[in-house]
Amino acid sequence: MSDSRKAQLNDWVNGQLSQLLEMGSVDIELTTVSGDASFRRYFRAQLPQQSFIAVDAPPDNENSELFVEIADYLREAGVKSPKVFAKNYPKGFLLIEDFGDRLYLPRLLTLQDGGLDAISEYQVESLYKDAIRALVKIQSNVDKKRLAPYNREKLRTEMQLFEDWFCGHYLGLDLSAAEHDLIANTFAFLEEAALGQIQLAVHRDYHSRNLLILDDVLFPEGSGPGIIDFQDAMAGAYSYDLVSLLRDCYIRWDRDLVESLAHHYFELASAAGVIEGVSVAQFRRDFDLMGLQRNFKVMGIFSRLCIRDNKPQYLADIPLVIQYFLEVARKYEEMAPFLDWFEKNVLINAKAKLNLEL
């Protein structure tokens, strides 16, 4: 994306702020907030008393109309998604509410690095319980019929990234017909598991890099994270966002804490009626198998981000994803044939390229 787009966005934002705030000419220079794994870029427009976020979402690559639509759904559901103050769909420009910079991940890492005493553990649990409450609100109040279905084709396309980008492009494996069949059969098993779950609204990237701790003064209306990066939401398996949150690609927690928080979700979601009829045993299986689907997807996406998009930093997060995959896959007989192949063929190459120690 060229600097000319930033200049155009800057001019557009100044014009919009002049109208929005009913003030004279505005001349603010946008400052970079972040880019992400997509083609979007985010900038801050800082005024003396308030600030806004300007979004550059090239229309050839990003769907700003869908972003605005889903932001509305989430706010209507009672969770905190940014308000949209101005939009220019042909250009791919948005002016939205500024939730600040206090992402969950840095705070969680700080708490984790300090060693979890009773106080820090309580703070970690409070952040996650806020996120879980917001998730149950989304599942209870967003009409899944308004979202595209997270269907078999979509699930398969995502998992195929593992075979194409992680095994093929990154590890350079030349797979036989029998190996392709083994992978396809494993994908089919996980597709059936996902499609057999209760289908609800799914954020699809509900984790510590997309949740923000909001300022109590600016957002006094109650606890709950600011939720971003929701434009890919679909109607899919109820366990998807929970496993994304608790088996996060960017931070790992011990099994007891994950199980405790997962059970907290189960109690809230059951009480809200969104997973009616699901037993604890079924819930655990749903949670695990959905995580495996996501692990395949993420190994492929992170490899593609490195190779195609020149973002090698994502490779550093693949070892944790592999660790999750191995721990969970070893619990299920249905995964045994694939796991045997994975450990003998994929893992040995991955260890060498990623300096894996498992």
- Between 1 and 132, the higher pLDDT residue: 132
Percent of the chain exceeding pLDDT 90 equals: 88
SS3 262: helix
pLDDT per residue as tens digits for the range 109-166: 999 998 888 889 999 999 999 999 999 999 999 999 999 999 999 999 999 999 999 9
The confidence band for 176, taking pLDDT boundaries of 50, 70 and 90, is very high
Percent of the chain exceeding pLDDT 70 equals: 97
d(CA 282, CA 267): 14
CB neighbour list of residue 190: distance below 8 Å, 6 or more residues apart: 155, 159, 289, 292, 293, 296
> 68-82, 190-204, 214-228: which has the minimum mean pLDDT?
214-228
pTM, rounded to two decimals: 0.94
Contact 133, 125 (CB under 8 A): no
The confidence band for 223, taking pLDDT boundaries of 50, 70 and 90, is low
Helices (H), the chain: 3-20, 64-76, 104-113, 118-141, 152-161, 177-195, 240-246, 255-272, 280-307, 318-329, 336-341, 347-354
Q: How many CB atoms lie within 10 A of CB 48?
A: 5
Q: What is the mean pLDDT of residues 308-330?
A: 96
Strand partners, 199: 237
**What tokens appear for 336 in the block?**
């045994």
**What tokens appear for 224 in the block?**
């709950």
pLDDT in the model for residue 88: 97
Alpha carbon 65 to its chain centroid, in Å, reads: 19
Domain with CATH 3.90.1200.10 in the chain: 104-354
d(CA 295, CA 29): 40
CATH architecture of 104-354: Alpha-Beta Complex (3.90)
Contact 28, 14 (CB under 8 A): yes
pLDDT per residue as tens digits for the range 263-304: 999 999 999 999 999 999 999 999 999 999 999 999 999 999
Which fold does the domain 3-97 belong to in CATH? Phosphorylase Kinase; domain 1 (3.30.200)
pLDDT in the model for residue 2: 55
Mean pLDDT of the chain: 94
pLDDT in the model for residue 3: 82
pLDDT in the model for residue 216: 77
Contact 42, 54 (CB under 8 A): yes
d(CA 269, CA 241): 13
Alpha carbon 138 to its chain centroid, in Å, reads: 15
Domain with CATH 3.30.200.20 in the chain: 3-97
pLDDT per residue as tens digits for the range 14-64: 999 999 988 778 889 999 997 665 688 999 999 988 999 999 999 999 999
pLDDT in the model for residue 222: 64
Residue 322 burial by Cβ neighbours in a 10 Å radius (0-12, 13-18, 19+)? buried
pLDDT in the model for residue 1: 45
